[in-house]
Structure 1
Amino acid sequence: MGKISAFYTMPHPPIVIPEVGQGEEKKIKRTSEALEKVAIDIENIKPDTIIIITPHGPLFSDAIALSFENSIKGNLGRFRAPGVSFDMEIDMELTERIIQYSENENIPTADITKNTGARYGVEYGLDHGTMVPLYFINRKYKDYKLVHITYGMLPKIQLYKLGMCIRRAVEESSTNAVFIASGDLSHKLTHDGPYGYSPHGPKFDKEIISLLKEGDALGVFNMDSSTIEGAGECGLRSYYIMFGAMNGYDIKGNLLAYEGTFGVGYAVMGFSLRESSIDMHKLLIEQNQKRTKEKLENPNPYIRLARESLTHYLTYGEYMDIPSYVTEEMKKLKRGVFVSLKKEGQLRGCIGTIFPVTKSISQEIIRNAVEAGLHDPRFMPVEEDELEEIDFSVDVLTEPERALKEELDPKVFGIIVRSRGKTGLLLPDLEGVDTVEEQLSIALQKASISPQENYTIERFKVIRHS
């Protein structure tokens, strides 16, 4: 009987590799030392296979990608270190078993080869989310095969179930395996970092590290979606899968290092496991069902109308009539309305009107909910079986009023700029838009209006229902 002998979270900053960092890696020495410690641990375990979950391989919105040829290569040439190269043997038997068990649980997978990669428009090869951890491991131990998995943008309960399938596949083989969840934490820790600063960044890192140390899967799955989105992380979905592979155990995390020197959070952790009678998967399903029930029974008439409008259209192919629960204000007032859809904290569609094109707020919501779900050109149309996973929000714009520059406040007011038939709009309280100058600059750019042109400014507020 096989087993997963150890679990680790490992970050993947290429700069930690001396050939890439050229001395800069010394600024994250604790991370480097922790990665070396993990490599020594793995050398002592001597696994047959290392299973690694990465964010940076072929990423699909609707499937898990598994590398499925006998070998896979890669190098760090895109980070100016082509000499750092890898040629790894894939554990085909275990990978095939994982695919089989996943598909039996209705978890969609995509086996990636050179041929299928070309068909999908992706490259078959190792990514830096894999190569950075393997760089440290391979200096200590090389006698292993690889299972190379890129997480997909599936519901997190499915990712958890994937982890369970991975462990089952290992246990029903004779493989001694190590599991690595590759991922960085927030990319928005400092103003001078490559992705800028968000207050969600430090908050996310502090919270996720605490939850991982406690082995609190429920806490990780219940993290605030706006915090996750604002943090700009890439490791959380790897952790969902890792927790699934640890289902049935009490978990404690050992933080080996955390650094945010370059504006991105790097956490290295190992875990100790003790058998438990608690079925975390069952608890997560029950919690998800409760959350879905609360979502569907949302008493806010704006949210309810947006959800029911898209649901009705997907079911019957036509716009719904205005229902009885709609308020008099929603029936009588005409306003611009934006309807936003999010799935697992990620935008799934957003369409709005600056000025009303229908006779009332309620009709505007009915129309724009359908537009956001089906006709946002950035996304595939929403399908009926997705609706339970989608959160709706409705922004109602107050009537715009003329304003001077000194009367603006980007946290309170959105703005509309106009010049010779060109119009640009920017909603209020957007992350990264902190000054009036930034707000005006972006709005003018959106409208293709030169700052030297004569233009008018209008301001408005947004009443958000979410």
Structure 2
Amino acid sequence: MAGALDATPVRAELLSHEGPFGVGYGIAAFTPTGPAGSDPSRAFEPAYQAWHEEQLAATREKEDAFVRLARASLEAHVRTGERLNLPDDLPRELTARRAGAFVSLKKDGRLRGCIGTIAPTRPSLAEEIAANAVSAGCHDPRFPPVTADELPELVYDVDVLSAPEPVADRAQLDPARYGVIVSASDGRRGLLLPDLDGVDTVDEQLRIAARKGGVSLAEPGVRIECFEVVRHL
């Protein structure tokens, strides 16, 4: 309603409501009293847009070197079609280490892409993150490629994975702490990162990971591994 009547003078009238002793809905009438766009005091869209841009700017300001590298890599690829030349001032943790990493993109609080590697595939963690950022934005089959107009709206997470370890007893798992990999004997496997919204139990975590890999937890030869991540925001 606020959007439909943005910057429009209105007269508001409460028609009915449910008392505090029950669950109900307020019913109100909003009657325009002047031309659309004639009341700057009710211009909610510019105020929201300014707040939204401030929030995104604050998020970018707090990004560490891992996330800044992911952002720069995807933006270079989308805008120029070229691979980013790695900056010279990257910390040694990025240049002298190898590890698997996942890059996740969100837009308006919703997933916009996520691609990663369980184990290192490139000479350095920096190159792993740069490549996976491009894949998350342009090659995640669940989403269309990110466009240049979307780049300012994206929020990035970078998860650096520890080496996976076999799980002998499901009781040692904790979906808030450990990610899981469910593998079948023929090579099918699914992975789920830890500490995801809405994933609160081990059974749920394993079921989702198995489904992603096309694996049945009941089939013979299924192997479960767990790993930890360091999440960079």
Query: Shorter-chain TM-score category?
Result: 0.7 to 0.9
Deviation at 1:450, TM superposition (A): 4.4
Q: Deviations over 1:86-128 (max 9, x none)?
A: xxxxxxxxxxxxxxxxxxxxxxxxxxxxxxxxxxxxxxxxxxx
Whether 1:429 aligns to 2:190 is no
Deviation at 1:329, TM superposition (A): 0.9
Displacement, 1:249? 5.4
Aligned CA distance change for structure 1 residues 349 and 441 (closer, same or farther; 3 Å): closer
Closer/same/farther in 2, CA of residues 457 and 322 from structure 1, 3 Å limit = same
Report the residue type matching 2:75 in the other structure: T
Measure the CA separation in 1 of the matches of 2:63 and 2:197: 28
Deviation at 1:416, TM superposition (A): 1.5
Show CA shifts across 1:398-445 (max 9, x none): 221222222111221111233323322222233443332333333334
Partner AA of 1:458 in structure 2? E
* 1:85-164 mapped onto 2 (5 Å cutoff): none
Is 2:199 the partner of 1:455? no
Matches within 5 A, 1:52-63: none
User: How far 1:460 sits from its partner (Å)?
Assistant: 0.8
Map of 1:14-25 to 2, 5 A cutoff?
A: none
- Corresponding residue number in structure 1 for 2:181: 416
C-alpha displacement at 1:319, in angstroms? 1.1
Give the Å deviation of 1:276: 6.8
5+ residue gaps in structure 2?
Answer: 34-38
Q: What SS does the aligned partner of 2:71 have? A: helix
How far the C-alpha of 1:347 sits from its partner, in A, is: 1.9
1:335 — aligned with what?
99
Secondary structure at the residue paired with 2:58?
helix
Identity within the alignment, %: 38
Whether contact under 8 Å (1:395, 1:465) holds in the other structure is yes
Alpha-carbon displacement from aligned partner over 1:184-204 (angstroms, at most 9, x marks no partner):
xxxxxxxxxxxxxxxxxxxxx
SS in structure 2 at match of 1:394: strand
Distance in 2 separating the partners of 1:444 and 1:282: 45
Distance in 1 of aligned mates of 2:211 and 2:7: 50
Secondary structure in structure 1 of the residue aligned to 2:17: strand
* CA 1:344–1:267: 2 relative to 1, 3 Å: farther
Determine if contact 2:182/2:209 at 8 Å carries over to the other structure: yes
Distance (whole Å) between structure 1 residues aligned to residue 129 and residue 46 of structure 2: 36
Change (3 A) 1:300 1:250: farther
2:232, 2:119 → 1: CA distance? Answer: 18
Match of 1:310 among 55, 74, 80: 74
2:6 is the alignment partner of 1:246: yes
CA–CA distance in 1 between the matches of 2:88 and 2:62? 16
Equivalent of 1:362 in 120, 126, 135? 126
Q: Contact 2:6 / 2:45 at 8 angstroms: preserved in 1?
A: no
Deviations 1:282-321 (A, max 9, x none): 4334334433433444441122111111111122212112
Deviation at 1:382, TM superposition (A): 1.1
> What is the match of residue 383 of structure 1?
147
* Structure 1 residues 328 and 267: CA distance shift in structure 2, 3 A: farther
Q: Which runs of 5+ in 1 are unaligned?
A: 1-180, 182-238
Q: Larger Cα Rg: Structure 1 or Structure 2?
A: 1
CA contact (8 A) 1:257 1:269 kept: no
Q: Secondary structure at the match of 1:411?
A: coil
What code does the residue aligned with 2:47 have? Answer: L
Check whether the contact 1:354–1:397 (CA below 8 A) recurs between aligned residues: yes
CA 1:346–1:444 in structure 2 vs 1: closer, same or farther (change >3 Å)?
closer
Whether the aligned pair in 2 keeps the contact of 1:305 and 1:365 (CA below 8 Å) is yes
CA distance in 1, matches of 2:63, 2:158: 14
Could you tell me how far 1:393 is from its partner in structure 2? Answer: 1.6
For the residue of structure 2 that corresponds to 1:459, the secondary structure is strand
Sort the Cα spacing of 1:377 and 1:451 in 2 relative to 1 into closer, same or farther, 3 A: same
- Alignment partner for residue 206 of structure 2, among 440, 450, 461? 440
For these two proteins, the number of residue pairs brought into alignment is: 222
Report the Cα distance in structure 2 between the residues aligned to 1:314 and 1:452, rounded to whole angstroms: 42
TM-score scaled to structure 2, two decimals?
A: 0.78
SS in 1 for 2:189: strand
Distance 1:270-1:462 versus aligned 2 partners, 3 A rule: farther
Amino acid in structure 1 at the alignment position of 2:203: E
What is the CA distance between 1:281 and its match in structure 2? 3.9
2:28 maps to which residue?
270
* Residues 411 and 428, structure 1, Cα contact 8 Å, conserved in 2: yes
| CA–CA distance in structure 2, aligned partners of residues 457 and 251 of structure 1 | 62
Contact 1:252/1:272, CA 8 A, preserved across alignment: yes
Change (3 A) 1:247 1:454: same
Judge conservation of contact 2:102–2:115 (CA < 8 Å) in 1: yes
Q: Which residue of 1 aligns with 2:171?
A: 406
- 1-side partners of 2:13 and 2:113: how far apart? 37
